Amino acid sequence: MLYLLSRTASAAKQCTRLTWNYSLVSSSSSASTRPSLSMAALLTASLRQQARGFSASAPATKDITVTFIEPDGNEVEVTGEEGTNLMELAHENDVDLEGACEGACACSTCHVILDDKIFDELPEPTDEENDMLDLAFGLTDTSRLGCQVLLTPDMEGARIRLPSATRNFYVDGTKPAHH
Amino acid sequence: NSSKLGFPAFASFSTTRQLATDHNIAIVGGGAAGLYTASRILSKSPTTRIDIFEQLPTPQGLVRYGVAPDHPEVKNCTTKFNQVLQNPQVQFYGNIPVGTESDHECSVPLERLRSVYGGVVLAYGASRDRKLGIEGEDGCGSRVGVVSARLFVAWYNGLPEAQDVQLDLDSFDRVVIVGHGNVALDCARILLTDPNDLARTDITKRAVAALRKSNVRHVEMVGRRGPLQVSFTTKELREMTKLPGLEIICDRRLLESECAGEKGRRVLEASRPLKRMMDLLLKHSVDSNSPKPINENELGAGGVKGNKTFTLRFLLSPLRVLYNQVEEGLKAPQVMQFAVNRLSGPPESARAEATSEIVDIACCMALRSIGYASTPLVGAPFDHKRNIVPNIAGRVTVDQNDRNDLVPGLYVSGWVKRGPVGVIATTMQDAYRTADAVLMDMRDGNIGTGCRADIDNTLRSLGVDARRVSTEGWLRLEAYEAARGEKAGKPREKVTSVEEMLNIINQ
């Protein structure tokens, strides 16, 4: 029992979380419940939850490191939790990626360009994402909407290019697009 | 940041004390273009003071009055807009028209702003639209003729000045929409969507009531050219394919021959968006050349008698609107006559040439959706051919003796800069480029800082302080609309009169 406790309480965050859970149980436990059994149940549940990676405060969730390449060539290495989408990840790290519709797949401003290998390994974009990608400036064969791509362990080391958006619209007489 | 600007940026971030070197910028227009321009300037130069002037009491422009009510996710950009408006460096001057002396007595002259601010950005968009210029366009008696799609959209979105637009959704079961863009598709979709579904959006109460009463079952969207030249996008077409009980009809023979032809195949290979759209149309459309007989007793989805249909018509140019015609044995309220076109040239730049063949389509109302148009502002240059403010990458120019001279301290952003085309993302990028020009000029000393004391005096003397709606006033109106909406199960119930808006704001 104590051994289990010390193992899961090794990281500070886990310790705090465990303490919170424990105090919650102890304040609501009925007279017939033996505290040690509740504790064991809590620990098991906590471990299971961490394995699923839902908790934002549990470092046992896989952290994945990728590199954003900004339009001017500046490279920014960032680390994020599995399940974070690339747009959120960029915003968390002050990488200059827009997100007008805030991840609702209703614009193309979080457009990113991946390398072939990562692009091929990802699940296919939905029709809805492809419809938005159709409108993205500088669309490539390995383009995705950042808000629709979630970090997975397979993406460790991925290089994510932000397309250059600089263009003097229509000064050169280029035919405009849609609205 | 400070190294780029030449003066400490963060150190002087203070609302009570402004350095003499901090710039004062005015933006005319509180829509996406104006707000994204402000956002970009502040992100690179956080101590710049920005005053945003907007004719309506409400900011957001077409995001509020153009984006369809059933596209709420597109409006998520307003979170950022509100952040900009709440930035202590920003003042919102709603209900203050600028440069519209011909329309508004109390309009602030642009020259007054230019004399006290370091720079002025014109971001006032496009508030008119192009007319067809055909006989009978303006209606006859109780027949409405051709109504502006922009006004129809503004009507269902609650724009105060559009609330009394004359529509006819009752005297016949068909509406004709002239135009093959996304605005036209939005209109078609709103006309053909189950009003019960629309009732849960932020469409106005009055619009839902009118649409419930509507007898419209068929919408024909007519364009000058062919399938490969449409301007609408796949997302909006896909939404039509998902409307329950709706049949999509088009000339499949034309569609197939355009796509299979040598030129067509080449242009489809080069354009992924166009290829995906043609594939979608081929998959979901029914041939107009051999229509299924409509069984009058057959109930479509939702129990409505007969299928609703959406027909895409190609190669037709409007000639005139006729009234008091007898069409197919029925006395139709109005009949639109079209010339049949033939295409010439490559698909990318195909030209429509009229043949002598004529097609008639009976309807209760026609909508023209052939483009918005900007109008000139008193005191600013205007290119009447292209309907934009002349500029080079956002810096306003004036045509003097065949030279393009820069007008110092005057900039332009958004649709009034490039023409009324482009989604919010396009406008965002465009606004950023203009903002970068302003930032460069600020940094290089090419424009003055303006003078805050002079600004305050000028605005006070013009009575602006007394009339304006501030950010706080807008947020109060927004909260009121949200609360009213919640009672009705909608995101918001928009207030549709300026007078009522001001009453709520000034309470």
Q: What is the pLDDT of residues A86-133, one digit of tens each?
A: 999 999 999 999 999 999 999 999 999 999 999 999 999 999 999 999
Q: Which residues pair with B175 in a beta bridge?
A: B219, B365
Could you give the CA distance from residue B239 to residue B237 in angstroms, rounded to a whole number?
A: 5
Whether pLDDT at B465 is above 70: yes
- The answer to whether B74 contacts A107, with C-beta atoms less than 8 Å apart, is yes
CA distances from B276 to A131, B306, B368, B440 (A): 8, 30, 27, 41
The minimum CA-CA distance between A134 and chain B, rounded to whole Å, is 5
Chain A residues with CB-CB distance to B238 below 8 A: 127-128, 131
Task: Give contacts of B79 with chain A, Cβ < 8 Å.
Answer: 102
Q: Is the pLDDT of residue B267 over 60?
A: yes
Write down the pTM of the prediction.
0.85
One-letter amino acid of B87: N
**Count of C-beta atoms within a 10 Å radius of residue B89:** 21
Q: Out of B76, B418, B429, whose CB is closest to A165?
A: B429
Check if the beta carbon of residue A159 is closer than 8 Å to that of residue A112: no
- Nearest-by-Cβ selection for A178 from B76, B233, B418: B233
Give the CA distances from residue B490 to residues A174, B202, B482, B485, B500, in Å, rounded to whole numbers and listed in that order: 41, 6, 8, 5, 20
Q: Which residues are registered as beta bridge partners of B341?
A: B354
Q: Provide mean pLDDT across the span B225-237.
A: 97
A169 neighbourhood in chain B, CB within 8 Å: 418, 426, 429-430, 433
Establish, for the pair of chains A and B, how many residue pairs have beta carbons separated by less than 8 Å.
92
Q: How many CA atoms lie within 13 A of B114 on its CB side?
A: 15
**Least Cα separation, residue B323 to chain A (angstroms):** 33
Q: Which residue in B276, B393, B421 is closest to A179 by CB distance? A: B421
To the nearest whole Å, the CA of A76 is away from the closest chain B CA by 18
Question: At A13, is the pLDDT very low, low, confident or very high (cuts 50, 70, 90)?
Answer: very low
Confidence category of residue B403, pLDDT binned at 50, 70, 90: confident
Give per-residue pLDDT as tens, B59-108.
Answer: 999 999 999 999 999 999 999 999 999 999 999 999 999 999 989 889 99
Smallest CA–CA separation between B467 and chain A, in Å? 32
Average pLDDT for chain B: 92
Q: Give the span between the Cα atoms of B348 and B93, in whole angstroms.
A: 44
pLDDT(A32) > 80: no
The closest CB to that of A101, out of B76, B183, B235, belongs to B76
Residue of B52, B31, B84 lying closest to B469 (CA atoms):
B52
Q: How far apart are CA A179 and CA A40, in angstroms?
A: 59
Contact B506, B132 (CB under 8 A): no
Tokens of A9: 């309480």
Q: What is the sign, positive or negative, of the torsion defined by CA atoms of B98, B100, B101, B107?
A: negative
Could you give the 3-state DSSP secondary structure of residue A76?
A: strand
Give yes or no for residue A175 having a pLDDT over 50: no
Contact B425 A169 (CB under 8 A): no
Residue A178's pLDDT band, with cuts at 50, 70 and 90, is low
H-helix or E-strand spanning residue B12: none
**CB-side neighbour CA atoms (13 Å) of B258:** 30
Chain B residues contacting A via beta carbons under 8 Å: 71, 73-74, 76-77, 79-80, 181-183, 231-235, 238, 272-273, 276, 392-393, 418-426, 428-430, 432-433
pLDDT digits (tens, 9 = 90+) for B287-340: 998 755 544 444 444 444 458 999 999 999 999 999 987 756 677 899 999 999
| Tens digits of residue pLDDT in B130-155 | 999 999 999 999 999 999 999 999 99
Question: Contacts of residue A144 in chain B, CB cutoff 8 Å?
Answer: none
